[in-house]
Structure 1
Amino acid sequence: MFSQNMFRGGIVAGAAVLGLCSTTAFAQQEPCIGNSAAITGPAAFGGQAIKMGAETAIDEINAKGGLLGKQLRLVQYDDAGAPPRGVDNTRRIALSDKCVAILGGYHSTVAVAQAEPVNEIGIPYVGVLAANTKAIENGHNPNFMFRVSAKDKWVARFLVEQALKSSKSGKIAFLYENTGWGNGALPDVKDAMAKAGKDLVAAETFNWGDQDMTPQIIRARDAGAELVLVWALDREGNQILRSMDKVGWKPTIISAWGLAGNLGELAGPLANGVQVVQTYTFMGAMDPKKQALWDKLKAKYGVKDPSEIKMGSGVANAYDAVYIIAKAIEKAGSYDWPKVREALYSVNYEGLVADYKPAFDASDPERQDAILPKYYKLTVWTDSKLLPIEQTSYAKTN
């Protein structure tokens, strides 16, 4: 068995690793699913959401006898949103814990960094939150990176479409964080605008931890923007709203789901009306399937109100991802990595978020992503709660 240090040092070529591991490590996988996510730090709610969704699905699977006669379990490590830690955790999950698959976490910078070790080692990765396009569309063949989550390329098209419906002038600005996630979204947003026959009137970036976005806000305002698309996390989203308030500018804001966590708590009334894309929400009216899952979450985690779940999409995406992996294991009749990867392409599953028919398509490089744009939803911050937009007064103006 190759050691973690040998992989890290690049001593063994990728082809040799895959060739030898196919007869050794691949045959020894354990009935566990690993996850590297932010358990600490300002985005810790993302790791908690993944844990809740994955563990609930695993509990249900184990109650029915498990998989191939074995009980499944979740192994979760903290990466605090730091790519080096995510890479180390990936190798630990694959080579030490020998898990059958890895669930991807909240931060796109981590997901992009994980693509190399995942494909080098050859363990199936199924992202459930990070949306960076190139994390999954990474040029590897075979590609072991899959996703049951939103994809920025598709999110950009969805949000631009919504923006052009809401904007009378079509003058749209883009504010994005200076990270792999934000910088990766810029070409996606520009491309979506170009396909609609439009250009951004302004594109302004900022860094994590910036306390004042006034210069960027003034430039976007003075460029004539009446609507702003945002790729930011809650902490910086709060500063964007406060800077807008400082200069007396209140444009329509439509955001990627980085503002789906605790923006309402941070910004208070300033967050009212901010629209955020999601794949799932526990807020508002519940159908029977959603109610059944919510009842299990209440019993297992002690949550009392859906607003306590800061990333409902993460819960539901992780829940669906575990079931898709489980069905792939059943189809493969094995915990063997290559066999499970191949079986992922033949999984059909009616999930919480989507009706996956199939979950992935081997003939289409874009279809390493399972959740199609038709399943995306708009939610809106209303009195510190993120509600489905159709259940609020904001639906009349959207």
Structure 2
Amino acid sequence: MTDPRVDADAVLLASFGGPEGQDDVIPFLRNVTRGRGIPDERLEEVAEHYRHFDGVSPINEQNRQLKAALEAELAARGIDLPVYWGNRNWGPFFADALREIADHGHRRVLVLVTSAYTSYSGVGQYREDFDRALAATGLADTLELHRVREFFDHPGFVEPFATSLRDALAAAPAGTHVEFVTHSIPTRDANVSGDEHTAATGVAFGEGGAYVAQHLAAAEAILEAADSTDAPWSLVYQSRSGAPHVPWLEPDICDHIDELAADGVPGVVIVPFGFVSDHMEVMWDLDEEAIETAEGHGMHAVRIPTPGVDPRFVTGLVDLLVERLEGTPDVERPHRTALGPWPDHAPQGRAPASLPA
């Protein structure tokens, strides 16, 4: 259900964050795994991925570029909204961003999270983070946060992948398999994803919940936009972590490539559609491990880019902001799957009725 228009006066670009030097790596990983009791010795195993790139995750610089692109697109449309940036796990942290927003006199904030799908880590955890940041800064009665909807099937997200997939398949051998890959999450978390949506609409998603349903729908939308609906494809996962006895979504992309090779498949095109930018998990888990696995079997292998700051993606994100500014009806909100448009999120912070007009 569409919320009424939001008379916002600022935008917050919210993301995961990443280290920007060797000394940042372990403190960053402690933030990522806070509350899980993981010793530094085990964190150092993951740290090696970052140390391979001099301890620098590309995600912060990518968000700087995305922030600049959003500012340029807003200015080109004559929309006077400043864009701020905050992260979950590394500076600038959400609390710092909220203080800056409030210090500049802003009160109603549109929040754009760099997560296209519904899951605890992509929705619920951010909501908890924002609540904590509002409480820690004492701004819960001052600021109001309005997150835009998940954009897994928005044309601005679908089209960049589709164009790259079409080009990659044209250059690949016949019989090449498309690997649509996203971040694995615990199966129990996947199964309950979208429960609030189900309670509100009666639409049930089955095994894997909304998280899996959205990815399957997005994959079909990308294939259709790429004129490649006859290509063989699978939904696969990467970056599993946590205790070995806890079930996570499968198959792992490297294991699946092994199976494809055993069946004589000549190549793979990897579509990292679980991500909006080429950050560490793309560069390591896919560009290093998955490509190495495929090439070890003598397979043709290519990983297509994420949207990053593709003009279509940036335009689509600003379209999402405008939806909230104008209270665009659902029937007018662009979407490429039967699951969309996904509903708006409830506001956080000061209640709308208590704010001055």
State the TM-score, normalized to the length of structure 2.
0.45
Larger relative CO (CA 8 A, sep 6+): 1 or 2?
Answer: 2
- The TM-score with structure 1 as length reference comes to 0.42
